[in-house]
A and B are shown apart, each in its own frame.
With several copies, the nearest count.
Chain A
Amino acid sequence: MDFRLSPEEETLRRQVEQFVREELIPLEPVFEGAPDIFEGSRWKSRAKLSRDPEVQRYIAVMEGLKRKAEAGDLWHLDVPKAYGGREVSNVAMIAVTEELEKASVPFELGNHVSNILYACKGEQVERFLLPCIRGEKTACFGLTEPGAGSDPSMMAATAAPDGDYFAINGTKMFPTFGDVAGFVQVFARLPGTKGREGVTCFLVDTGHPGYRVVRSIGTIAGSEPCELVFDNCRVPKNQVLGEVGKGWELNQAWLGARRFQVGIRCHGTAQRVLRRVGALLRLDPREHEKFSASLGHFRGEMEALRSITYHGSWKADQGMDARFEAACVKLFGTELLHRVVDFALEVAGPGALRKEHAIARAFRYARPRRIVEGASEIQRHMIQRALFREGIACMEL
């Protein structure tokens, strides 16, 4: 048993720690008034394309940071060596994100590529994968439909084979950046199939004929996911990602890999919120007396979240099945962040609901986390299924 990072992981963590201390912390005041667009989704597609000079100013700062990170070999950390990345472990990536989250500046060490894109084959690699790795293109994810989310049997979008093409028809709800991404990873089923059977993933350029952005949808968190319509959108066969009929498995893999990062992000946001609370309480001994037990309670819960996040990532690194842990981390992390934010508002009072206040930002950011990428109910469902299938054995190690 060993709870330490490996020497290489520890070296990387220290590099990032230094980067955060020297580059990001000094920028915190600059980002205090940044629009919500920079929260959670971070400095991605929409922000980059914005012509708002204020947004452009933040983007320029981000680009400067990116150049510094590249100079320090802190770019492409989780990209496979085959594609020129450092291919560091899951545990290392958790440690990296933990360090980054210590600053409120929404900068991340990219470029992260959705893991399923590594299923690209042949010319897909040059056309879709490499531009993403290089940061020239971004992808969006088209799974949810007006009547279907986590349940594959409800998926209505179809992909009808037609010679060397598939004709995709259907509506996709909530792809973030569906209006500005370079292409979409869209899921549709072969005609006459049911459940997860027949679900296939396609890579479709966003300008492709038959691809239409119906509208973008405002949300509490400031992100603006889209409604997309595929209207007889004909896509050549060589744009199938992975295998025909194996799309649902790709979706599962995509979600599974993200859970631990979601956990450490929730941890980071909650830590920053608790630091604000701690600072407030230090100003007023009477307030401190009233709230110190609750503050301590949440600090303890944070340690619990941190411990299962690292443990689950370690399991994934060992090649062990970490789906049980992934579900625990997503559930516990997002619910904990929600409670931490609620507590922080209770301490800070109505003034902390000012839109630009760090706690108000966290309040808006936290709510969708319990829904997107598998709602808490879905996580609970996965946990109970593992429990009833394997008994307490699913919790060994």
Chain B
Amino acid sequence: MSQEGAFLKQREAFLPLGDPTRRALDGDINQSLVEKAKRVGLWALDLPEAAGGSRVGQVARVLIYREFARTALPFEPPAIPAVVARSPYARKLANGKLSLALAFDEVHKTGDLSAIRAVYRRGAGGYELYGDGIDVIHPDADLYLLPAVAHEGGDVGLFLLERNVVGVKVERESDLTTDQTVARLTLDGCRIGSDHLVGAKGDVEGIIASEQLRIAARSLGIAIRCLDASLEHARNRVTFGRPLSSRQAIQWMLTDVAVSLRTCTWLTLEAAWKADQGMPYFHGAALAKKRAARMAFEAADTAIQIHGGYGVSKEFPFESFYREARLLRLLYGREAEIDRKMGEEA
């Protein structure tokens, strides 16, 4: 694990957890962090070096995202799937000149391809895309990575779409409770060149699994931070003459988080390790994301409860973790859907 260990050290060296009340980075600091991250190889973790990234294995990727999630500061390496490397935008995406949104919309409901709403059709020299009511998180990105179903035959294709091309309409932008923005995408026969088809069914499934691992990793980080801070607070806070840490109600809450963290850690790492070994890992990634995101939510909920009135205030990071973890639980497969799929296996 020495390669991973080295990454972690770097990460800690240049982005300390810092002031818990900070929620935003101003432009300059952000830019300097981006530069630093690129320099030490903590950027575009899925892209090969040839495409300007610092590709690492899934185990290392999990450990890196876990570390970045330990702060409520909105800073982490962008998730740029490897399929993008084949496209002309790869280098600009890797160096941050262009930004990317994964327009996976309804895929979040089921965590699989059955919910894709966009449709594509072969046209002269490329494709036409159709679809409406597609929710996109980060709609201000320059490029959308969008799965679509073939109008005939039902094949799945993955398209890289410029936001500004004709036929793409982005409307009804609004803020999420988690501080991201979301907007509704309409594709009205939008024409794109054939080089914009960057992947097929397996690539879309791979991105879902990879994003599930990333969510699991972030969730581990959130839970570690919440548990750590809760232990600290419980040791120091005295009520009715005794520290909170002496109360079984508090102890038991933290125990539940710890047991859950223990199980989620190994489920996540095992799935990531399997991915690195070339073994099947989709099932494990889905399970890890489901359990880890739920655990992060409960860890944040526990931290809030233990911190009392301060817990729900914006002066501590827990309410932010709480909102974020709630969203993570809803991305790339609702809990009941992941359960259902596991229950349908023979």
A interface with B by C-beta (< 8 Å): 1-3, 144, 147, 149-151, 153-154, 173-174, 217-221, 225, 278, 282, 288, 290-297, 299-300, 303-305, 307-308, 311, 325, 328, 331-332, 342, 345-346, 349-351, 353-356, 360, 363-364, 367-368, 370-372, 375-377, 380-381, 383-384, 387-388, 391-392, 395
Contacts and interface: CB of A to CB of B under 8 A. Distances in A.
A371 B311 contact: yes
A383 B255 contact: yes
A349 B109 contact: yes
A338 to B, nearest CB: 8
Q: Which 6 A-B pairs have the closest CB atoms?
A: A296-B343, A296-B342, A292-B343, A218-B314, A295-B343, A384-B251
B263 A304 contact: yes
B113 interface: no
B266 A307 contact: yes
Contacts of B269: 1
Interface of B: 1, 59, 106, 108-109, 135, 137, 174-178, 182, 224, 227-228, 231, 234-235, 237-241, 245, 247, 249-252, 254-255, 258-259, 261-267, 269-270, 273-274, 284, 287, 290-291, 301, 304-305, 308-309, 311-315, 319, 322-323, 326-327, 329-331, 334-336, 338-346
B304 A353 contact: no
A219 B245 contact: no
A304 B261 CA distance: 11
A363 B177 contact: yes
B108 A380 contact: no
A381 B251 contact: yes
A392 B261 CA distance: 10
Contacts of A293: 336, 339-340, 343
24 contacts: A151-B239, A153-B241, A217-B314, A219-B313, A220-B319, A220-B322, A293-B339, A296-B345, A300-B287, A300-B342, A308-B263, A328-B263, A349-B334, A350-B137, A354-B175, A354-B177, A360-B177, A367-B304, A371-B312, A383-B259, A387-B227, A387-B254, A388-B234, A395-B262
B209 to A, nearest CB: 15
A395 B334 contact: no
Contact of A300 (B175, B259, B290): B290
B251 A380 contact: yes
Contacts of B240: 151, 153
Given A154-B239, A350-B135, A367-B322, A392 B228 contact: yes
Chain A binding surface SS class: helix
B185 to A, nearest CB: 12
A186 to B, nearest CB: 17
B335 A346 contact: yes
Contacts of A278: 346
B263 A332 contact: yes
A147 B237 CA distance: 8
B258 A383 contact: yes
Contact of B309 (A149, A153, A328, A355): A149
Contacts of A332: 259, 263
Contacts of A328: 258-259, 262-263
Contact of B291 (A300, A371, A375, A391): A300
Nearest to B182: A354
A206 B220 CA distance: 46
A299 B267 CA distance: 13
A149 B308 contact: yes
A173 B284 CA distance: 44
A388 B261 CA distance: 16
A346 B135 CA distance: 16
Contacts of B342: 295-297, 299-300
Contacts of A387: 227, 231, 254-255, 258
B213 to A, nearest CB: 14
Given A354-B174, A371-B312, A383-B259, 16 more contacts: A1-B1, A154-B239, A219-B312, A295-B339, A296-B342, A304-B263, A307-B263, A307-B267, A308-B263, A350-B327, A350-B331, A354-B182, A355-B175, A355-B177, A387-B255, A388-B231
A220 B23 CA distance: 14
A381 B135 CA distance: 45
Contacts of A144: 309
Contacts of A304: 263-264, 267, 291
A290 B341 CA distance: 12
A315 to B, nearest CB: 11
Nearest to A343: B336
A311 B266 contact: yes
A225, A293, A391: which has the most chain B beta carbons within 10 Å? Answer: A293
B340 A353 contact: no
A296 B341 contact: yes
Contact of A356 (B59, B135, B174, B258): B174
Contacts of A218: 313-315
B255 A388 contact: no
Contacts of B336: 290-291, 293, 346
B309 A174 contact: yes
Contact of A353 (B59, B274, B327): B327
Contacts of B313: 217-220
Given A219-B313, A295-B343, A353-B178, A345 B326 contact: yes
Nearest to B252: A380
Contact of A292 (B228, B314, B340): B340
Contact of B263 (A153, A305, A350): A305
Nearest to A292: B343
A288 to B, nearest CB: 8
Nearest to B237: A147
B133 to A, nearest CB: 10
Contact of B262 (A282, A325, A381): A325
B259, B304, B339: which has the most chain A beta carbons within 10 Å? Answer: B259
Nearest to A380: B255
A300 B339 contact: yes
